[in-house]
A = this chain, B = another copy of it.
Amino acid sequence: MKVVFLCGGAGKRMFPITEDKFLLKFLGRTLLEHQIEQALAAGLNDIVIVGNQQNIERLSEIVGKFSSTGIDLATQREPSGMAGALKSAQNLLEGEILVVNPSDVFEKSAYSAILKERKKESATSYILGAKVEKYFPGGYLIVNEKREIQHIVEKPERGERPSDVVNMVVHLHSDAQALFHCLEVESTRDDAYEQALEGMIKKGHKLKLVDYGDFWGPIKYPWHIFAVMEHFLGRSKGGIAKTAKISERATIEGDVIIDEGVTVLENAVIRGPCYIGKNSVIGNSVLIRDRSHIGENCVVGFSTEIKHSYIGDGCWFHRNYIGDSVIADRCSFGAGTITANLRFDEREVKIRSGDETIDTGLEKLGVIMGADSKTGINVSIMPGARIGPNSIVGSHVMLAHDLEPNRIILLDTQNKVIEMRVGSD
């Protein structure tokens, strides 16, 4: 059986996070590496990865780390969704295939459940489904009494979801040809793959729902990273690498993973579960708490507090409060920059994007910051603001809305707010 990891591009919904989701790093490795390991651990060692022209080099690097295993790489020519991705790898795929979206994080039990069902009952395809309590912007599965799928309803409006089982992209197709046959009929619509599944059903193929009840962490919006971060932190025991230097006056409490080359200075406190990536420096009087995940080569400077946040690689902090935030690689924060993470009325933080309002489902949400962005000193950022990438919030600015990529917002000498392109005069 071949496992097919579909490594298409990042969605618009991830703004301002531009990194492909499966390239986000957790505990020092990309999500894709975690996925490959998990598949191997489940005994699935025949793997095909379908990337695109932008990420194929990076994927190739990652595959290189698993040199002992045979992993095939294919490149999707056009960004035409799952259908296009599968077609691009068609020559590598025959017989049984297990189609997986590696940005949806799940437990190894997903594989055992689907493989068990395949042994137990004969069907053309086996579709993993997760029961959801609250509305989720995905495809909802409608089944008959035999748990055979009748319809897939893509992204219904909030309040109109036709079932409580959502399609997880862990799909076992016992006959790749049957799938490809239906895929060919379909247009290049974004949901062509789901349309093909509907086509298979119409043709009389049996698509069996496989119930899955363990952790499922799909990443559609940046704040979904929190659940995945918590998942990885939750299943890890703490440990301090031998090359890490921890001051005797620092306090490490609970399950804290401290990676190679990390320095923790005097009077710093890290209250786990937390992860500190390679060669990062945790400065004097710093507090890191509440399931925070810090990438490599970061400098968390004096008196900074990081609470329940995901921080990329190469970020610099100095006297900041970063709470419930997602910070991409190479961001830097001026002294006194503070993120607000709670509304005065303690209601759900909503994101306003033009006319659109996005519900986050979160009472606590700080900033979402794209790569290579910066803030000045004494900056205040309101809950749910999205910044960048490559943008700058000038000193002493209060930012209460999104800042587009490559933009700088500043105060003039009369305390007026000015916004312009980065680099213009």
Contacts and interface: CB of A to CB of B under 8 A. Distances in A.
A392 B344 contact: yes
A272 to B, nearest CB: 14
A248 to B, nearest CB: 10
A336 B334 contact: no
A279 interface: no
Contacts of A392: 344
A44 to B, nearest CB: 45
A108 interface: no
Contacts of A269: 265-267, 284-285
Interface in A349-407: 374, 376-378, 380, 382, 392, 394-396, 398, 400-401
Nearest to A285: B285
Q: How many copies does the complex hold?
A: 3
A344 B407 CA distance: 13
A335 B340 CA distance: 8
Contacts of A263: none
A319 interface: yes
Nearest to A283: B287
A296 interface: no
Contacts of A313: none
A321 interface: yes
Interface residues of A, number: 42
A293 B267 CA distance: 23
A9 to B, nearest CB: 29
Contacts of A12: none
Contacts of A396: 380, 398
Most chain-B CB neighbours within 10 Å: which of A285, A401, A413? A285
A385 to B, nearest CB: 11
A291 interface: no
A302 B374 CA distance: 24
Nearest to A303: B303
A416 interface: yes
B284 A287 contact: yes
Contact of A305 (B266, B302, B340, B400): B302
Given A267-B285, A303-B305, A417-B414, A395 B251 contact: no
A68 interface: no
A338 interface: yes
A408 B267 CA distance: 38
A318 interface: yes
Given A269-B267, A285-B287, A415-B417, A321 B335 contact: yes
Given A376-B344, A380-B378, A415 B398 contact: yes
A398 B412 CA distance: 9
Contacts of A394: 344
A251 B250 CA distance: 12
A58 interface: no
A40 interface: no
A266 B248 CA distance: 13
A414 B409 CA distance: 11
7 contacts: A251-B266, A266-B267, A285-B303, A319-B321, A336-B378, A395-B398, A396-B398
